[in-house]
Amino acid sequence: MSTGNEFQRQAIAAHVKQRLAGPARAILGFQELLLEQARDFGLTYMQSDLERIGAAARQLNGLIDRLVEGEACSQEGGEADAEARLRHDLRTPLNAIIGYSEMILEDAGDLHQHTLKEDLGVMLAAAAELLKQVDAIAGLSRRQAIETLQPKDQTGIDAAELERLLFKAENHVWSNQGGKILVVDDVASNRDLLSRRLRREGHHVVTADSGLSALKRLNEDEFDLILLDILMPDMNGIEILSRLKADNRWRHVPVIMISGLSEVAAVARCIEAGADDYLTKPFNPILLRARINSTLEKKRWLDREHRYLQQIETEKRRADSLIHAILPDQIVARLQGGEEIIADRFEEVSILFADIVGFSPIAAKLPPSDLVRRLDGMFSRFDLLTEQHRVEKIKTIGDAYMAACGIPEPAADHADRIVALGKSMLQSLRDAPPDHDRFRVRIGIHSGPVVAGLIGRLRFVYDVWGETVNIASRLESQGVADRIQISEATRRALHRQWTLEPRCALDLRGIGTIETYLVR
């Protein structure tokens, strides 16, 4: 690889520095970790040796830092002598690190129960690697790092490819879609300079000269990005940032802090408070453009994601509403809880059947649309009544309506509720507008045990089965128009005082004789 290109030389030199400084940082980091572990485990005898390793590691890091920063060693006595002294200075802490680490390993043979032994091994490996690279490190003092590298190190980084990618990135055009940016700064010249620069980049800019003014602007309009100064008289930037992130209206708006403060503590505090980025004054125009465009692009993706999530949430609510309209809430909850087979036996349930008297002749006379409209009107009223009386609608079967009380949640007053429902159903038909072909229904009710469960995978239904269902259906089919016929079992299950009129004893095939009553 040619190293004639200055950029490629710099890239390789940076890579070299990173490779040489990295192990030195690792040694210091592992030493600090080992010291903490030794204290935790009560291994006081090794703390002094670890502290010596720490002192040597700090000395080594200091030497490498000065070389990386370009502080050449003293040329006193000639270049060769200076480099020899540097090699000596580098080897001294490395030898100390290796020596004390090996001593700790020898003295503490039972360290296998701790991670100390493994950490010592890593530290020794890093020190041994640096010891082999002492010539290359010393070469940094005269800017000959590349030449002192071994061939395999030179090929470790493709500087030409990196240059190509960076060059391409430099010409990369961010989305030309400008953002709406709020600039908050109490210094007029700063606001003016920043605003003009941003407007030239195609953004729409609104300014605020204080924290309170910024909050007012936010109440009046929506923004894609906020550039927020830290040092302001009435309310500092971190206080405003905390308010923004605590408010659902503004939490999603990205904030880049701008300040003359370059201390790491200030940057860290802002990031912890929710800032998306931090820029120090005076601004580098290229960095400013890159960070603003990057933040706006991220905001656009987040907005898009937010819209998708809202759409998903709307669809989910619609699906939930649909499934709750089909199934009882308790059954929906069990399905959502992962239950796949839902089948229960209930000992005390009341079943109601309602059927239209003379439906076939009426249907034959009505146009299909009118028939469906009238059926829908009647069954819709019945649906509302089931909710009012806390009875579960089971299904419609042609012109018949089936409901149950006592499932899926047992109810002691199941018979009273379902009789009340039957009376309300009859009353709703009497209250309907006068019509020559007004629907009239027969209602039959019986109480007893049933099995209830969910069947089907497509158009599934929560249904009930058993003799109780069959008897209720027979009571309806042998009932009286505009009246409710109940069985003796239902009469016994009633808790409230209802006016009942004994009717007859029905002989049901396969079941026997059942006393029946009409509810008045």
Query: Which tops the pLDDT comparison, 498 or 79?
Result: 498
pTM: 0.53
pLDDT given at position 488: 95
Confirm if 179 and 297 have CB atoms less than 8 A apart: no
438-467 pLDDT per residue, tens? 789 999 999 999 999 998 877 788 999 999
pLDDT given at position 110: 61
The span from the CA of 74 to the CA of 89, in Å, is 13
394, amino acid identity? I
Task: Please report the sign of the dihedral spanned by the C-alpha atoms of residue 106, residue 107, residue 110, residue 113.
Answer: negative
Mean predicted confidence (pLDDT) in 475-504: 94
Rounded to a whole number of angstroms, the distance between the first and last alpha carbons of the chain is: 104
No. of helices (H) and no. of strands (E), the chain: 19, 13
* pLDDT > 90? residue 349: yes
pLDDT given at position 2: 46
pLDDT grade for 234, boundaries at 50, 70 and 90: confident
* pLDDT > 50? residue 3: no
pLDDT given at position 111: 53
172, amino acid identity? H
Query: Which tops the pLDDT comparison, 25 or 481?
Result: 481
Please write down the HEC assignment for all residues of 19-32. HHHHHHHHHHHHHH
Q: Report which of 491, 220, 449, 455 is spatially closest to residue 335, judged by C-alpha positions.
A: 455
* pLDDT > 70? residue 148: no
Helices (H), 108-236: 116-132, 134-139, 145-148, 151-154, 159-170, 188-200, 211-220
The span from the CA of 132 to the CA of 329, in Å, is 73
* pLDDT > 50? residue 29: yes
Q: How do 512-519 and 484-487 pair as beta strands?
A: antiparallel
Q: How do 180-184 and 204-208 pair as beta strands?
A: parallel
Mean predicted confidence (pLDDT) in 392-406: 94
Query: What φ, ψ does residue 4 adopt, rounded to 5°?
Result: -70, -30
pLDDT given at position 10: 66
Query: What φ, ψ does residue 443 adopt, rounded to 5°?
Result: -125, 135
Structure tokens of 176? 């030309």
* Percent of the chain surpassing pLDDT 70: 83
Residue 404, classified by CB atoms within 10 Å of its CB into exposed (0-12), middle (13-18) or buried (19+), is buried
The span from the CA of 489 to the CA of 486, in Å, is 8
